[in-house]
Structure 1
């Protein structure tokens, strides 16, 4: 990750800072390197100690060696002939972990969703994040124009208004309707999401295109 940050500094800018907004894997990865510098540990260890362990995310892992020693569903993509095939390459290098490298389970994703729908406290009542900071992630930092991602950038969220209903999202999955707006993320051939609207917490877990759970 340190080497990635050095190479990133050598990359040309596509625009001057503040001139335009763009969804950026590189930006998340750089944030991960900043976390390493601040905490004095690796990004993965910081996430584990600060988030995964307090939240009880026992099945969320970054390292390939940790994943393959557990029950793991390999991802699939449709090939050029319309036939499902095992997705390869499954994962690149750990420099991309901050922008989307964690492997998790449906139960862990539900725990993560409940935390974001709460006030910064975990199930024991211990507070691991101030309420205002957690909720600030949903608020607009910069407006987007003509983007399919949302109306604005939050912090890892895209605020979006659909038929007068305020939502937070990270893009729509194929086949989605306005009944719920999703936050999605995935690796090769795999995807997970949860959704939220202002009328009440609606959380869905999607693995391999199949809706597994809805909670309010």
Structure 2
């Protein structure tokens, strides 16, 4: 394995160049390597109220929040109050799904590794009160089911919000209070908050959306509703996230030396539980963590996004390495963050993360892919222009119409993609903000294409 040395100045220069290339108003980067922290901050919190980005600037970290929810839940496992293999109804007896047998069968572990057979999410707002999460769970009978429990992995936001309700019912306390007292406080995370009232009194980044004319516009939404806190509602800083990374690279002890989580469960989080096929998200899910082998090295991480803000969080346990990248503009926060993550892996560890090369266009093979695919909030159309295949993802008109005052992100331009060598069902996106994203087309027992996986989510074919 290569060992590479680089200078902090080189990181700062690369971050500045990447921010300029992708038009990021602000980027915050933190690295833990060789027993020290390195920071590189660039730009401003907002184009309307430009305050310099620092390692103490709060960003909305989206789905990276799931790692905190998991750690809080596993503390309850450590205490013997939750059994990962128990049915979820053991702790949430009020749970109702579209199918009664499904609701009775899913386990806590299946929520943690996205094998519960739940669709991605229900987009609704059940308020900011202490009953917001309970009210959300009461609507889960409306959530589509995509397969039997344990049948296949498919990323579910709703599943993690349901885990938040497990925590509430077991402890008798609001989800956010439990995480603050059992995770934030003992680890020493002083810059991580769920509530806007806590965020607004501190330096925080605003998200931005690039408009059709190329100009950036500040997002008026900072995060989703309270019911989404377990799956994606945390605000945090690079400084706190590096401390979070160091905890998960450690032995489970907190700031004062007391055990926060047993070393056994901390390690179990990082062990594969289900393999993912042709996914940029991961090669496998652990307990929440996304596990990838990159250039012969195991990486552990979880990214997040929402309302024009993006978080990338990666650990390399065998090298005691962590890297965090936070940015604040859509859609190019995704490739900007990924470029910085890859640069850090290569220049500090000698680990090269390269995209696979697609095969040439197959005119005979392509037509069977064409059609419209669907999840609860979006449709995806697969088509070709000449010899180029495209995936076009759009938010459903009825979703936009139902929430005219909400800030729903703009649709991306169609993504060009190519099929990968092998059985021809796997693909890679070759340009645009999702460059390098991988996925695959699903087939039934008769060989007919029935769905497409993108970013770990199953889109079901509807035409």
Report TM bin, short chain. 0.7 to 0.9
Contact 2:208 2:309 in 1 (8 A): yes
Query: In the alignment, does 2:293 pair up with 1:189?
Result: no
Q: Could you list the structure 1 runs, at least 4 aligned residues long, displaced by more than 3 angstroms after superposition.
A: none
1:155 offset after TM fit, Å?
A: 1.3
1:169 offset after TM fit, Å?
A: 2.8
SS of the residue 1:129 aligns to:
coil
What is the aligned partner in structure 1 of residue 25 from structure 2?
none
What is the aligned partner in structure 2 of residue 108 from structure 1?
240
1:148 offset after TM fit, Å?
A: 2.0
What is the aligned partner in structure 2 of residue 38 from structure 1?
170
Bigger Cα displacement from structure 2, 85-94 vs 100-109 = 85-94
1:198 offset after TM fit, Å?
A: 4.6
Instruction: Write out aligned runs for 1:29-178 (5 A).
Output: 29-170=161-302
What is the aligned partner in structure 1 of residue 155 from structure 2?
23
Larger Rg: 2
1:191 offset after TM fit, Å?
A: 2.2
Contact 1:101 1:187 in 2 (8 A): no
1:159 offset after TM fit, Å?
A: 1.3
1:43 offset after TM fit, Å?
A: 0.6
Unaligned runs of at least 5 residues, structure 1: 171-183
SS of the residue 2:150 aligns to:
coil
SS of the residue 1:203 aligns to:
strand
SS of the residue 2:319 aligns to:
coil
Distance 1:123 1:92, change over 3 A: closer
Report which structure shows greater RCO (CA 8 Å, sep ≥6): 2
SS of the residue 2:139 aligns to:
helix
What is the aligned partner in structure 1 of residue 134 from structure 2?
2
Query: In the alignment, does 2:327 pair up with 1:205?
Result: no
Distance 1:93 1:20, change over 3 A: same
- CA distance, structure 1, for counterparts of residue 173 and residue 319 of structure 2: 38
1:128 offset after TM fit, Å?
A: 0.9
Distance 1:124 1:98, change over 3 A: same
TM-score, normalising length: structure 1: 0.85
Bigger Cα displacement from structure 2, 107-116 vs 68-77 = 68-77
- CA distance, structure 2, for counterparts of residue 98 and residue 159 of structure 1: 21
Distance 1:116 1:198, change over 3 A: closer
Q: Number of aligned residue pairs: give it.
A: 202
